[in-house]
Structure 1
Amino acid sequence: MDIKMEQLIKISVRNLVEFIMRSGDIDNRIVGIAELDAMQEGSRIHRKIQKSMGRSYQAEVPLSITVPVERDGHHLEFCVEGRADGIIEEEDVTIDEIKAIYMDLDYLKEPIGIHLAQAKCYAYIYAKKKSLDKIKVQMTYCNIETEMKKYFVEEYDYKVLEQWFLHLTDEYAKWACWQYEWIQKRNQSVQRTQFPFAYRKGQKELVKGVYRTILRNKNLYIEAPTGVGKTISTVFPTVKAMGEGIVCKIFYLTAKTITRTVAEETFSRLIEEGAELKYVTITAKEKICVMDTCECNPVACERAKGHFDRVNDAVFALLTEQNQITRELILEYSERFCVCPFEMCLDITTWADVVIGDYNYVFDPHVSLKRFFSNEKKNDYVFLIDEAHNLVERARAMYSAVLYKEDILEVRRLVKGYSKTLVKRLDACNLDMLQLKRQCDDCSIVNQTGNFYLHLLRLTSEMEEFLKEFSNFDERETVLLFYFDLRHFMNIYDYIDDNYIVYTDYREDGAFRITLQCMNPSGQIRSCIGKGRSAVFFSATLLPIQYYKEQLGGDSEDYAIYAPSPFSEKQRLLMIGNDVSTKYSRRSDKEYQKIAEYINLFVKEKVGNYFVFFPSYQLMNEIAEYMELSEQKELYIQKNSMTEPEKEEFLSYFKEKPTMTRIGFCVMGGIFGEGIDLKKDRLIGAVIVGTGLPMVCNERELFRSYYQERKQKGFEYAYLYPGMNKVLQAAGRVIRTMEDKGAILLLDSRFLQEEYVALFPREWFPNLLVNKRNICEALKMFWKEEKN
């Protein structure tokens, strides 16, 4: 719903009927009925059907109607609008609603309720406009694979349609009136709310920059060092713009749980200052599900049974009773109304002012929030994208897909006794993969896939029929997972253009695969943020800014800000060890010994907590063998795939006011490389061993070749920029507040090379060149100044 002016409420036909008329169970056993996944292919079929009709057929007819509503003392007007697929002007007028689906039409005995309701809305609007006593509705279903069609036609009396339509809008009125009241209350409170802190150096300019960006419908890229207060500096002006009616919804997007917590705390702080805001954080289904496994069907879960009959009441109760909609509250209300907490949470996002969640809820084509982004309509959304440097690799992964030959054979084995047709489809795809495998020694770029796409399309359709027919068998979960991988692969196939490379290679265990690799995600990101008014990308490590602007969908008209550090030079000592290298050609016992000596000297001058960051687990474990430990010096080493409790335990060793030296060995880019916040003397120093360059592999080498050809910067795009970002993030763990003081040691001679120095942030100057003979003196002087 979108309130454009006082007491005028706009809502689409589709949103109206899908919200009011939904009912029944959640059932993940039903595959292929929803047309959302078929949207791109469905659009093609829509156009084909429309073109095949005669002269009396009008396609894509915009329709709208404004209905006065009186409720709870409010006099409102609903503007219900949409676009009819077709209107047939013959002796009798017929509204045509086209639905392209993967479902076998033999299973379809009558129109799907929500689809028919959309058509009836258009029929009423058109009949009223043309003063018709009767009007026909035709539901046209088309199977995407076969293009076979099935029709359902019914004639309606205008008076019956009018009564039905007005009942529909009256059901929606309680929601609209509530939201109207809430928006007035919210806007008035926000207009009174002041910035909750004293402005730090550069912070006021940052706040103004964000506000001007939103006002001008632009995008902004912010490189802001730790301590500037990036979160409040982006949130506050966006909330103020919402209070003035410029912004209708805020999406705060992050890559990690800890940054979502910071966002929640920031919005809570504004609420404490008097702002009336409703925010909700989306928790992943696996984390919020009350069942041991996410079996979303009425047989396995009592909450799935009849969920849609009860969920609207649950959402309305929560919205009218709570503002800060936490995970705990969602669990409480979902239990009270016996509904799925995850699906309930998604419904709350429709009405919340602020949605906090992972990047994928906006950018991932598989899991993005379709209720907001399924069409091309532009809305007054603002996207606040925290730690935006992470989005480049995440977006590449979201828009890439992989398929394994071994998975095809495994599914063939599992379904062999059930369906000869499905086995035949799997055999055809396996043969295609076998031919590709014969052409691939190590890694091979695929320019032509022949009939592979067609064979995969037929396999997809056949798998849907199989999964509907065989709803219960022992290995169904494995088959279903492969089906989802297959559908994702097919969806990504539609994106392939010059920004993609298709290649084949082998996994470490020898499994053969074909990969649709997104090399440049800027087009997809630009399309996503284009659904809103503005996007603000911010990070402490967004260098070089032009690279990130390019990769994150920016253009020449977008803004960029480099915020100055609020910290004094005296708070930080940055040193570079110039006689060490982590290059593979230099790695040896002698070099490992030298690195360990540097670390021991670095922690020698002051008792405290230190982190040492390495480019890999292998190098980290090699160096650990050479460390000098004692009763007053302990070493803690990050393990691979640590659980959340293990991570918290690791961090708990680094306490305030330490009485002994504790050293944490961590991996750059890992769970301790960014996002953690050890303030004051919980962390007083960091050693960064190596330049963080990604491991050489087929994918990286393809990136290098791709960007060398197009930008003459293959090494930079594939290795240098991602590597230095990890270095900058690791170093950023040390100075977090105005009270912090700490030292940073970069250990690799490459840090003196021009291309690396060019990526140093401003606050890294001046820095000090050290070796094993003078590092202790430099540290002694630095810590001595602290005492003075």
Structure 2
Amino acid sequence: MQEGTRIHKKLQKRMGSTYLAEVPLDITVPVTYDGVSLEITVEGRADGIFPAKDGSSMTIDEIKGIYRHVSRLKEPVLVHKAQAMCYGYIYAKKNKLKNIGIRMTYCHIPTEEVRIFEERISFRKIENWFLDLVQEYAKWAAWEIKWQEERNRTIRSLRFPFDYREGQQTLVKGVYQSILRKKRLYIEAPTGVGKTISTVFPAVKSIGEGITEKIFYLTAKTITRTVAQESFTLLAAQGMRLKFITLTAKEKICILDKPQCNPQACPRALGHFDRVNDAVYDLLTQEDSISRDMILSYAEKHNVCPFEMSLDVSTWCDAIIGDYNYAFDPTACLKRFFAQETENPYIFLIDEAHNLVDRAREMYSSTLIKEDFLKIKKIMTTHSRKIARSLERCNKELLELKRECEERKIYDSIEIEPFVMKALRLSSLLEEYLHSRTDSGDYTALPDITPGDPAALPLDNDSREDVLAFYFELRYFLSIYETLDEKYIIYGDYDPAGAFYLHLQCMDPSGNLDSYLKRGRCAVFFSATLLPVQYYRDQLAGREDDYAIYAPSPFSSSNRLLMIARDVSTKYTRRTPAEYQRISDYILRFIQAKTGNYLIFFPSYRMLEDIRSYIESSSYCQECVNVYVQETSMSETEREEFLSHFEDTPTKTTIGLCVMGGIFGEGIDLKDSRLIGAVIAGTGLPMVCTQNELFRNYFDEKKGTGFNYAYQYPGMNKVLQAAGRVIRTDSDRGAILLLDERFLQNSYQSLFPREWFPYDVVTADSMGKYLSDFWDR
């Protein structure tokens, strides 16, 4: 943008005294479409206006600074020309001209070489074109006006679809008051309260009252997006008209095996923009609930890209359901909504909000690997000696940082500044290179390439993918560097193979999240495990006057048995064969009490495998139990197959050996007899590693709570999530066994939800009596 501004000013100064630069223009046009009368205002700023040489008329000049070499332009880009034509019509109309000149001035930013396209258009022709254009906008404006009237009418008469459960009405009121008062609300609400409908309903009502315009329902997992869809569908069944869409990642919705957004690879890319408006209008006028399958269907009908179409559709939708990154990720957020750092009438509903802490730290951090610079240098040596030299300079700076780092070293920003300056230069060179060369272009036509030069050959597909990925990583690193503050640390370390990594690590994401949350009116964070709430408020951009609500569980405490083993531990110092035998003994006695389905959670795959052999070697397990084990990197099909073994009313006991914090630790819904018990071995503490120790040291220094922030709170969240799999409905009954004596310490019990009291302290011998009494009841 800075380079473009420089080029504009430089060219404008060359044009002489009769050249008027940066001329503001506007016009308001009355129009009627589909029975709706409205006015459309078109306004902008022309780069330049100057008289023709004979003085007979005027010319509009539109300047574009580009990285693509101007020698490869055959004609002006049509959308650029359309911009100039709008200015041309406005100026000709106001000055009663018979014709107007339209000039496109393209400047190649690196070389400042200029190419001009110019034509003169009669007023009648440009007026017809402009009024046709206004009619296209009127079509959408008229539709939107009518839609909003219909939507708001149905919402105003909408009522909550259920009788309120205990605590539910408090949630609904709390959300609505937070919207009215522009607050952020933090809700800890156990399973069964109905968090989703209790947040969606008041958010929808606020749209009907004209307080807000758009709902962003954000979550980390696919299954919770489905729950959100169901809530909107439920309200639609009550008579609500609302357009809501679920966004799907490009990789999952692309028609190709691997996204390649160019006409050579994708049959829908060529002419996509000519067809997509009709596709979007067709879908919006026919459907309210817009799912992935629906997007695919309409995209196929109109031969357009389903992912880009879904983004265009979202512009017109009232509610958007999707991943956190659509609102908070600097590289993936929806620029059409969040490009401007101003408050908008949006509501953020953030489900499973406990997941956002780690996700946000990840979003706002960046890492570069020294060895990648050498890999890209090897590719670029025969294609651009200038870029190869720049890569080598960056590598030398990283080598200096590496020499100072034995195992791990924290740097200050001044120490890495020499590297950053060279990386900025490299980023500019790579950007210029990638813009000016295409997969199949004739590079010998470029002024810096001579026939026979190896650089005239295009990069092969794999090499181009590698260079492009490296460029994006470098650019992201530099953008994060620009945001560094006291909530970051810079450090270097090594991977097991000895590669040197340079990290910009976000330690506290609250500041970054706050900058995005300010672009909405209200944010509601909710989860079944948002304890301690002060920790999550602190990390998720809570302010002193923001609200927090704890909703009581609607389920009877008699439906749950919670036991804590007092003589077993999963501490590293206690992980011996004897302790593993004791843990497996607890597990076997627990599942023998009643035939049914159980999940057993361990703190790591290593411990799972260590204890698995003890369980599977027991005679009871071999004769009476089906054992299924969570594997690393399971596909969706494999996950579904794993869960399919947990059937209703089983005649044989089934156990699943799982890892806390994994894919089966949260977000799964095994209701009624599909799951009747869970054993949680350990307090879920994250592994001791470089990053967690850095978190511990950072929060020790900032708050004196390093162990809590780095280990205890994230660990207990995994425990609470795992235990939450057992009781999902008011008809569920189940037992939970916590296997670690540390659960009896005050520091852990202070993190227990209210519904975990009272609990029973047991040994392997005494546990059987508690279980038999519970199941007999």
TM-score by length of 2: 0.88
C-alpha distance in 1, partners of 2:94/2:4? 27
Are 1:134 and 1:155, in contact at CA under 8 Å, matched by a contact in 2? no
- CA displacement at 1:512 relative to structure 2: 1.2
* Cα distance change, pair 714–288 in 1 and its aligned pair in 2 (3 A): same
User: Shift of the alpha carbon at 1:626?
Assistant: 1.0
Which of 226, 236, 242 is equivalent to 1:277?
242
Of residues 505, 508, 526 in structure 2, which corresponds to 1:538? 526
Relative to structure 1, is the Cα distance of residues 141 and 783 closer, same or farther in structure 2, using a 3 angstrom cutoff? farther
Q: Is the 8 A contact 1:279 1:325 kept in 2?
A: yes
Change (3 A) 1:305 1:769: same
In 2, Cα distance between equivalents of 1:47 and 1:758: 62
Give CA-to-partner distance per residue, 1:170-220, whole Å, 9 cap, x none: 211111111211111111112222211221111011111111111222221
Deviation at 1:120, TM superposition (A): 5.7
Question: How far did 1:293 drift?
Answer: 2.1
For the pair 1:417 / 2:379, whether they are aligned, the reply is no
- Find 2:710's aligned residue among 718, 741, 760: 718
Deviation per residue, 1:346-402 (Å, 9 max, x gap):
111011121111111111111111111112232211111110111111111111111
**Any idea what SS the aligned residue of 2:769 has?**
helix
Q: Please tell me whether residue 510 in structure 1 is matched to residue 475 in structure 2.
A: no
Q: Which residue of 1 aligns with 2:623?
A: 631
| Uncovered stretches (5+) of structure 2, i.e. residues with no partner | 440-457
**Aligned ranges 1:228-627 → 2 under 5 Å:** 228-447=193-412, 448-467=415-434, 468-469=436-437, 471=439, 472-474=458-460, 475-627=463-615
How many Å separate the matches in 1 of 2:702 and 2:194? 37
Number of matched residues? 744
Contact 2:682 2:740 in 1 (8 A): yes
Structure 2 match to 1:782: 774
CA drift of 1:451 comes to 2.2
8 Å CA contact retained: 2:261, 2:269: yes
> SS at the partner of 2:526?
strand
Aligned-pair CA distance for 1:325? 1.5
Q: Distance in 1 between matches of 2:20 and 2:544?
A: 40
- Given that residues 102 and 461 in structure 1 are in contact (C-alpha distance below 8 angstroms), is that contact kept between their aligned partners in structure 2? no
What do residues 261-320 of structure 1 show as CA deviations (whole Å, max 9, x unaligned)? 111111111111111122111111111111222122111111111111111111111111
Q: In the aligned structure 2, how far is the partner of 1:62 from the partner of 1:75?
A: 27
Contact 1:50 1:59 in 2 (8 A): no
Larger displacement relative to structure 2 (344-353 or 550-559):
550-559
| Offset, 1:128 | 7.4
Q: Counterpart of 2:686? A: 694
- 2:342, 2:518 within 8 Å by CA — same for their partners in 1? no
Name the SS of the counterpart of 1:631 in structure 2: helix
Q: Which runs of 5+ in 1 are unaligned?
A: 1-37
* Aligned counterpart in structure 1 of residue 739 of structure 2, from 721, 729, 747: 747
1:71 CA displacement:
0.9
Structure 1 residues 219 and 771: CA distance shift in structure 2, 3 A: same
Comparing 490-499 and 655-664, the one that deviates more = 490-499
Q: Alignment partner of 2:301: what SS?
A: helix
SS of the aligned residue for 1:666 comes to strand
Measured against aligned partners, the alpha-carbon deviations of 1:641-662 in whole angstroms (never above 9, x if no partner) come to 0011110011011111111211
Output the amino acid matched with 1:453: V
1:246, CA displacement in angstroms? 1.9
User: Are the counterparts in 2 of residues 140 and 149 from structure 1 also a CA contact under 8 Å?
Assistant: no
Amino acid at match of 1:543: L
What SS does the aligned partner of 1:67 have?
A: strand
Q: Give the Å deviation of 1:63.
A: 7.3
Shift of the alpha carbon at 1:478? Answer: 2.0
Corresponding residue for residue 28 of structure 1: none
Change (3 A) 1:76 1:656: same
Identity of aligned residues (%): 57
Is the CA contact 2:46–2:84 (under 8 Å) kept in the aligned structure 1?
no
**Structure ID, larger Rg:** 2
Query: C-alpha deviations, 1:479-505, integer Å up to 9, x for none?
Result: 222222222222222222222111111
Bigger mean CA deviation after superposition, 492-501 or 98-107: 98-107
Q: Deviations over 1:593-635 (max 9, x none)?
A: 1111111121121111111111110001111111131322222
Q: 2-side partners of 1:377 and 1:98: how far apart? A: 28
Could you say which residue in structure 2 is the equivalent of 1:199? 164
Q: 2:142 matched to 1:177?
A: yes
Q: Distance in 1 between matches of 2:459 and 2:121?
A: 48
1:731 aligns with 2:698: no
One-letter amino acid of the counterpart of residue 366, structure 1? T
In terms of mean alpha carbon deviation, does 732-741 or 378-387 score higher? 378-387
Letter in 1 for 2:744: L
Q: Give 1:22-101 correspondences, 5 Å limit.
A: 66-80=28-42, 84=45
Q: Output the TM-score relative to the length of structure 1.
A: 0.87
Quick one: distance in 2 between partners of 1:451 and 1:484?
20
How far apart, CA to CA, are the structure 1 residues paired with 2:393 and 2:304?
43
